[in-house]
Structure 1
Amino acid sequence: MDTMRERFVSVTSELLDEDPRLALVLAEITMDGFRPAQQRHPERVINVGIREQLLVGVGGGLALTGLRPVLHTFASFLVERPFEQVKLDFGHQGTGGVLVSASAGYDWPAGGFTHMAPGDVALLDTLDGWTVHVPGHPDEAEALLRHAYAAGDDRVYVRLSQQSNAAAHPVTGLGWRTVREGAAGVVVAVGPLLDHVLAATEGLDVTVLYATTVRPFDDAALRAAVGRATSDVVLVEPYLAGTSTTAAARALTDTPHRVLGLGVGRAELRRYGTIDEHTAAHGLDPRSLRERIGAFLHRPGSARP
């Protein structure tokens, strides 16, 4: 199976041939994969070198000319380093574009903390009008990329990961899918963490919702799931823990509820290790998730799974 990043190259290269409005801006990262597309469309495949602020600035300028810019590099260099340019060159200017990241979270442990961006979605939450996709499988990544490229002049962030679920789920819209139904609580699994959540909740009487689009937050899906179960909600996200707890609280304003946000911890893990070791260290492996979810649902006053 190809990776999300490889699927990004193939889909984007194909659409560059088909859509004269689409433009791609790179900062060296993944340039080798796009070299054939650059040879065919040198005016719309631009490599600015390792200059991430310029990457965003050029993308914003292309948007002002009427093009649909796609900007790509590692998440830490796409959202964090040039955040002022993202804020001004897209938000302040009122332009649209698609940011496509690679190696978000801790996907490349050997790169160290400089190449990790667990706070990327939380940072974009400080800005208005961003749609955020977090696919959990290359097939889902393709569907969401095609949707983002065709989304008029919207501002979209597509968070690609090295991690993947074993199987894809149909992406027929931006809403969440109900994967399992239960009455003792609701667990929202985001993107590539779905398989871990399903393994962790095996045999528990909980509803599992699957989210590949986290902004806009699917208020209706969460409210409907809480209506079928208890008002205990666990969010399991592959980025900074607690990123969506405020959104969940807003969705349940009229419902007494408890929310637990699980995700990447704030502490820097200074040993490189592997992806699996980082997952376990952040408590996102199936065993740790089962303990944490079970402990939350077993608190006094909660229904027991």
Structure 2
Amino acid sequence: MDTMRDRFAPVLSRLLDENPRVVVVLAEIGLADFGEARQRHPDRVINVGIREQLLIGAGAGLALTGLRPVVHTFASFLVERPFEQVKLDLGHQGLGAVLVSAAASFDWPAGGFTHMAPGDVALLDTLDGWTVHVPGHPDEAETLLRHAVAAGDEKVYVRLSVQSNAGGLPVDGVRFRTVREGGSGVVVAVGPTLDTVLTATEGLNVTVLYATTVRPFDAAALRRAVESAGTDVVLVEPYLAGTSTAAANDALADVPHRVLGLGVGRAELRRYGTVEEHITAHGLDARSLRDRIGGFLDTSPARLGGVPSGTLSTVDRRV
């Protein structure tokens, strides 16, 4: 199966042919994938070299001319390194662009911590007005990329990953999907975590929601789910643990509830290993998730005290 990033260049090349507003801005990474498109559209496939601040600045400048810039590089170089330009050149000036990342959170362990960005979504959360798509399969990535490009002049982040579910689901760029129904809690699986979450919760009486668009957060879907499944909520995210706990708490502000955020821990894993080893080390493999989710849904204090690498947010007025 091709990866999300394998799908990126062919889809965007077709969008260049279809839409004269689209322009691609690169910083060396991914340039070879746009060879034919660059020949057809030499003025709309732009490489700024290894200058990530310029990458965002150039995208903002192109947006000022009425174009729809699609800006691409590794997440650590797209969101973290040029964050001031994302904040000012795009946000402060009220300009839209599509930022498309690769390699987050730890998709290329051999690159080391400089090429990892588990905090990218949390960092964008400090800014106003960003839509964030986290596809879980190449088919979903294609759909969400098309949504992003077509989204007028909005600010959109599309987070691509080598991690993938076995199959794609229909996604609309807005809502969470209900993929399993139960009555003893809600688990929200984000993007490529879905297959593992479904394995981990097999036989547990929980509702599983699938999220590929995490900002804006689908508060209505979560509220509907807790009405029938109970007000214990677990978020499983492929980036920094706890990134969406505040959004879930806000969605349920008038409802007594508990939220557990699972994801990538804050500690740097300096023996970089493989993607699978990182998943296990952060407790995001099926066995660990089953223990952690099951322990949370069991309300005994002993079980709640043994949850590693997650963040526990308790808002419970029932006692």
TM-score (normalizing by structure 2):
0.94
Counterpart check, 1:157 vs 2:160: no
Q: Distance in 1 between matches of 2:45 and 2:19?
A: 13
**Quick one: which amino acid aligns to residue 226 of structure 2?**
V
Q: Distance in 2 between matches of 1:76 and 1:295?
A: 33
Q: Distance in 2 between matches of 1:173 and 1:269?
A: 33
Specify the alignment match of 1:75 in structure 2.
Answer: 75
**Quick one: which amino acid aligns to residue 10 of structure 2?**
S
For residue 196 of structure 1, give the secondary structure of its aligned residue in structure 2.
helix
Instruction: In structure 1, list runs of 5 or more residues that go unmatched.
Output: none
**1:41-64 deviation line (CA, Å, top 9, x unaligned):** 111100001000000000000000
Please tell me whether the aligned partners of residues 197 and 286 of structure 2 are also in contact (alpha carbons under 8 angstroms). yes
**Quick one: which amino acid aligns to residue 14 of structure 2?**
E
For residue 276 of structure 1, give the secondary structure of its aligned residue in structure 2.
helix
Instruction: Note the aligned Cα RMSD (angstroms).
Output: 0.8
Q: Distance in 2 between matches of 1:163 and 1:13?
A: 23
**Quick one: which amino acid aligns to residue 182 of structure 1?**
G
Q: Distance in 2 between matches of 1:267 and 1:39?
A: 45
Specify the alignment match of 1:172 in structure 2.
Answer: 172
Q: Distance in 1 between matches of 2:209 and 2:67?
A: 36
Specify the alignment match of 2:38 in structure 1.
Answer: 38
Specify the alignment match of 1:117 in structure 2.
Answer: 117
Name the stretch that deviates more: 61-70 or 33-42.
Answer: 33-42
Q: Distance in 2 between matches of 1:37 and 1:237?
A: 34
Shift of 1:300: 3.2
Specify the alignment match of 1:260 in structure 2.
Answer: 260
Q: Distance in 2 between matches of 1:72 and 1:238?
A: 20
Could you say if the C-alpha distance between residues 173 and 84 of structure 1 is closer, same or farther in structure 2, counting changes exceeding 3 Å? Answer: closer
Q: Distance in 1 between matches of 2:67 and 2:183?
A: 48
Q: Distance in 1 between matches of 2:33 and 2:25?
A: 13
Aligned length: 301
Q: Distance in 1 between matches of 2:78 and 2:285?
A: 27
Instruction: In structure 2, list runs of 5 or more residues that go unmatched.
Output: 302-319
Shift of 1:281: 0.2
Q: Which runs of 4+ in 1 moved over 3 A?
A: none
**Quick one: which amino acid aligns to residue 227 of structure 2?**
G
Shift of 1:174: 1.2
Specify the alignment match of 2:191 in structure 1.
Answer: 191
Shift of 1:172: 3.0
Shift of 1:18: 1.1
**Quick one: which amino acid aligns to residue 230 of structure 2?**
T
**1:195-238 deviation line (CA, Å, top 9, x unaligned):** 01000000000000000000000000000000011100000000
Specify the alignment match of 2:126 in structure 1.
Answer: 126
Map 1:136-285 → 2, pairs under 5 A: 136-285=136-285
Shift of 1:39: 1.3
Name the stretch that deviates more: 284-293 or 164-173.
Answer: 164-173
Q: Distance in 2 between matches of 1:218 and 1:84?
A: 28
Q: Distance in 1 between matches of 2:146 and 2:64?
A: 21
For residue 270 of structure 1, give the secondary structure of its aligned residue in structure 2.
coil
For residue 50 of structure 2, give the secondary structure of its aligned residue in structure 1.
coil
For residue 148 of structure 1, give the secondary structure of its aligned residue in structure 2.
helix
Q: Distance in 1 between matches of 2:288 and 2:67?
A: 46
TM-score (normalizing by structure 1):
0.98
**Quick one: which amino acid aligns to residue 144 of structure 1?**
L
**1:275-299 deviation line (CA, Å, top 9, x unaligned):** 0000000000000000000000012
Please tell me whether the aligned partners of residues 173 and 212 of structure 2 are also in contact (alpha carbons under 8 angstroms). no
